[in-house]
Structure 1
Amino acid sequence: MTNKSKKLALVGLVAASYAVITIVFGVISYGPIQFRISEILMFLPLFGKEYIIGLTMGCFIANIAGGLGLADMIFGTLATLISCILVYYTPKFIKNEKLSLFVASLWPTIVNALIIGWELYKFFGLPFALSAFQVGFGEFVVITIVGLPVFKMVNNKYGNRIKIFNSK
Structure 2
Amino acid sequence: MFRNFFTTKRICRAGVIAALYVALTYAFAPVAFGIFQVRPAEALTILPLFFPEAIPALYVGCLLANLASPFLVYDLTIGPLVTLAAAICTYFIGVAFRKYTGKGAAALKVGLGGIFPVLFNAFVIPAVIVFLCSEGADATIAAYWLSFGSFVLSEGIWVYALGIPLYLLVDRMRAKGVAVFTDDKKKPLVASEPVNDQSHPTPQA
Please tell me the TM-score bracket, short chain as reference: 0.7 to 0.9
Name which one, 1 or 2, has greater alpha-carbon Rg: 2
Equivalent residue for 1:148, pick from 151, 164, 167: 164
Equivalent residue for 2:153, pick from 137, 144, 147: 137
Query: Matched residues in 2 for 1:157 and 1:90: separation?
Result: 19
Within a 5 Å distance, the mapping from 1:18-167 to structure 2 comes to 18-94=21-97, 95=100, 96-125=105-134, 126=139, 127-152=143-168, 154-155=169-170, 157-160=172-175
TM-score (norm 2): 0.70
Q: Is the partner of 1:158 in helix, strand or coil?
A: helix
TM-score (norm 1): 0.84
When the two chains are superposed, the root-mean-square deviation of aligned CA atoms in Å is 2.2
Which structure has more helix as a fraction of its residues? 1
Deviations 1:71-121 (A, max 9, x none): 111111111101101110113335532211111122111010011011112
Size of the alignment, in residue pairs? 160
Alpha-carbon offset, residue 9 of structure 1 = 2.3
Query: Matched residues in 2 for 1:132 and 1:69: separation?
Result: 20
Deviations 1:53-84 (A, max 9, x none): 01110000011122321111111111110110
Alpha-carbon offset, residue 29 of structure 1 = 1.2
Alpha-carbon offset, residue 159 of structure 1 = 4.4
Q: Which runs of 4+ in 1 moved over 4 A?
A: none
Query: Matched residues in 1 for 2:166 and 2:96: separation?
Result: 23
Identity level (%): 26
Alpha-carbon offset, residue 30 of structure 1 = 0.8
Q: Which segments of 5 or more consecutive residues in structure 1 lack a partner in the other structure? A: none
